[in-house]
Structure 1
C-alpha cells in the first residue's frame, strides 16, 4: 500500500470501519472500535484507514496481512 497525502479524520476511519466490518473478523472489528475511542496520532488514523480501505476487495493473503497489521496496531 502506498502512502496517501490526505489526513483522514476519526470520522473517516469510523465510517470506513463501519463499511468494512462485515468482512473483518469479529474480534478485529470490535477491537478496532474500542481502539478508535483513544486519542490517536494522525499517522495512526491514516494507516488504519488504508488498512481498512477496500479490505473487502483484497485477496485472502492480503486480508491476512492487513489483519496482522491491525492486530499489532490495536494491541499497542
Structure 2
C-alpha cells in the first residue's frame, strides 16, 4: 500500500469504515468503531487506519487478512 501525503480526519476514517462495513469481519468493524469513538488517535494512526480500509473491498482474501492483522495490531 502506498502512503499519501493527505491527513485524514476522524470523520474521513469513520466514513471509510462505514463504507467498508459490509466487507469487514463484524468483530473488527465493532472494535474499530469503538476505538475511534472512545480514543483520540494520533494523525498517523488515523492515516494508517484510513489506508488499510481504503479499497479493502477490492483486495484479495489474503490481502484482507493482512489488513485485518494490521488493524488489530493498531487496536492492541
TM-score of the superposed pair, with normalisation by structure 2:
0.96
CA RMSD between the two structures: 0.5
Q: How many residues align?
A: 75
CA displacement, residues 21-67 of structure 1 (integer Å, 9 cap, x when unaligned):
11000000000001102101000000000000010000000000000
TM-score after normalising by structure 1: 0.96
Q: Normalized per residue, which structure has more helix?
A: 2
Unaligned runs of 5+ residues in structure 1 are none
Is there any run of 5+ residues in structure 2 with no aligned partner, and where?
none
State the 4+ residue runs in structure 1 displaced beyond 2 angstroms: none
SS of residue matched to 1:22: helix
